[in-house]
């Protein structure tokens, strides 16, 4: 029985059953698909096509952040496999309440299969989140400036300084693993003496941990590249929203659209519904009216078109990719060209 449960076909069927149950119990709340489809039919096809291209490029930029960071750490992942993982993880994230936690666990697991150590996978999670947060802060504060609002330079400075401090700290740790090991061993021994336990019971684990630290050094050119792709991910997603607004005949100020976009992202962080369905739509519609000077009719239509592409369409593509990777050719389980451990051993 355990062997059957571990097969990819069983796992794919189980996920499909869960999705079917989710759709069945939430069928009364899926009327937005019909509304969105009608708005898509009435929208300018050229702008809709542009929005589709932009949302695809935004996912590629997001995947490129992972490629840059993992390859910098010595995990030579294939770009195709990373794009498949990002699409599949996005589908998991947007399909379930609390989906981001499932998505993060999936990304962590796949990175470990590619040869990343727990330290490298954790480092990626922390640094990619910091890059996304800093990019959001820079774009949002820039939009406030263009709207004529007062922007405190200290806010922008703190966002950038925080990102640089994190990069500096990880680089320092990567260059001085021995000092980190000595400090941790000393603290662990003091703790063990206080608990009347053997002094060196944690020492082997700490030594193994410190051996992995040297892989997380991030040179300036790689940091710059990761920042660029992280910013492009946001910019392309915002451009997708702008294209959806243009598709229904709107011409809003760009700065107002940027602020509306980030306001809806903040509301969607809790994700108490799949993909933030409901709260995100309300937040985006009301902020487009208040900040982008759109009528409620135009704002609602634009949000329907945008969510049909960025939420429903992207989620559908993600699940197709996920099941294709599981059943046809298991791209998600593909071994990397070289693992981090192989790099370390060859260096030694």
Q: 10-21: per-residue pLDDT in tens?
A: 666 766 676 666
Question: Higher model confidence: residue 328 or residue 152?
Answer: 328
Highest mean pLDDT among 64-73, 139-148, 267-276: 64-73
CA–CA distance from 137 to each of 64, 152, 262 (Å)?
21, 12, 9
Asked if 164 and 127 count as a contact pair (C-beta separation under 8 A), the reply is no
Asked if 126 and 216 count as a contact pair (C-beta separation under 8 A), the reply is no
CA–CA distance from 134 to each of 80, 93, 146, 155 (Å)?
27, 21, 19, 11
SS3 276: helix
- Locate all alpha helices (DSSP H) within the chain, ordered by sequence: 2-6, 8-25, 31-42, 45-72, 79-95, 99-113, 118-146, 153-175, 177-194, 203-213, 220-247, 254-267, 279-291, 296-307, 314-327, 340-347
Among residues 113, 112, 51, 56, which one has the least CA distance to residue 86? 56
User: Is the pLDDT reported for residue 347 higher than 60?
Assistant: no
Among residues 11, 212, 202, 190, which one has the least CA distance to residue 92? 11
Q: How confident is the model at residue 243 (pLDDT cuts 50, 70, 90)?
A: very high
> pTM of the full predicted structure?
0.76
Mean pLDDT within 257-286:
82
Determine what percent of the chain is predicted with pLDDT higher than 70: 75
- Backbone angle region of 62, left / alpha / beta, with phi > 0 → left and psi within -120 to 50 → alpha: alpha
Q: What's the angle, vertex CA 46, arms to CA 43 and CA 47, rounded to 5? A: 65
- pLDDT value at position 245? 93
- pLDDT value at position 26? 55
174-208, pLDDT tens digit by residue?
Answer: 777 778 778 888 888 888 888 888 888 888 877 77
CA–CA distance from 107 to each of 23, 190, 321 (Å)?
24, 36, 15
| Rounded CA separation 313/273 (Å) | 17
| CB count in 10 Å sphere of residue 149 | 11
**Tokens 């040869």 belong to which residue?**
115
61-86, pLDDT tens digit by residue?
Answer: 999 999 999 999 889 899 999 999 99
User: Is the pLDDT reported for residue 155 higher than 70?
Assistant: no
Q: What's 310's DSSP letter?
A: I
Q: How confident is the model at residue 224 (pLDDT cuts 50, 70, 90)?
A: confident
Asked if 332 and 88 count as a contact pair (C-beta separation under 8 A), the reply is yes
| Rounded CA separation 86/152 (Å) | 35
Mean pLDDT estimate for the chain? 79
Tokens of 146: 């263009």
Asked if 294 and 252 count as a contact pair (C-beta separation under 8 A), the reply is yes
């Amino acid at each position: 029985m355990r062997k059957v449960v571990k097969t990819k076909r069983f796992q794919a069927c189980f996920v499909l059953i869960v999705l079917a149950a989710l759709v069945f119990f939430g069928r009364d709340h899926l009327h937005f698909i019909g509304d969105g489809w009608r708005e898509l039919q009435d929208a300018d096809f050229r702008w809709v096509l542009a929005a589709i291209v932009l949302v695809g490029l935004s996912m590629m930029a997001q995947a490129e952040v992972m490629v840059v960071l993992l390859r910098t750490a010595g995990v030579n992942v294939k770009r195709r496999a990373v794009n498949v993982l990002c699409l599949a993880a996005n589908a998991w994230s947007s399909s379930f309440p609390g989906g981001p936690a499932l998505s993060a666990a999936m990304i962590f697991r796949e990175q470990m299969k590619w040869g990343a150590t727990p330290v490298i996978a954790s480092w990626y999670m922390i640094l990619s989140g910091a890059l996304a947060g800093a990019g959001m802060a820079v774009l949002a504060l820039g939009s406030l400036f263009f709207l004529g609002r007062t922007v405190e330079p200290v806010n922008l400075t703190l966002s950038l300084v925080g990102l640089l401090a994190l990069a500096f700290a990880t680089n320092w740790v990567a260059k001085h693993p021995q000092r980190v090991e000595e400090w941790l061993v000393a603290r662990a021994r003091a703790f063990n003496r206080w608990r009347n336990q053997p002094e060196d019971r944690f020492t082997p684990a700490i030594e193994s941990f410190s051996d992995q630290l040297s892989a997380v050094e991030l040179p300036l050119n790689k940091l710059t590249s990761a920042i660029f792709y992280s910013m492009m991910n946001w910019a392309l997603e915002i451009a997708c929203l702008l294209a959806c607004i243009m598709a229904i005949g709107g011409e809003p100020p760009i700065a107002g659209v940027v602020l509306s976009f980030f306001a809806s992202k903040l509301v969607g962080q809790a994700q108490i519904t799949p993909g933030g369905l409901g709260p995100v739509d309300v937040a985006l519609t009301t902020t487009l009216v208040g900040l982008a000077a759109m009528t409620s009719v135009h704002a609602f239509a634009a949000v329907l078109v945008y969510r049909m592409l960025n939420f429903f369409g992207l989620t559908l593509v993600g699940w197709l990719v996920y099941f294709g990777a599981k059943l046809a050719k298991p791209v998600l389980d593909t071994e990397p060209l070289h693992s981090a451990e192989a790099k370390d051993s060859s260096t030694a």
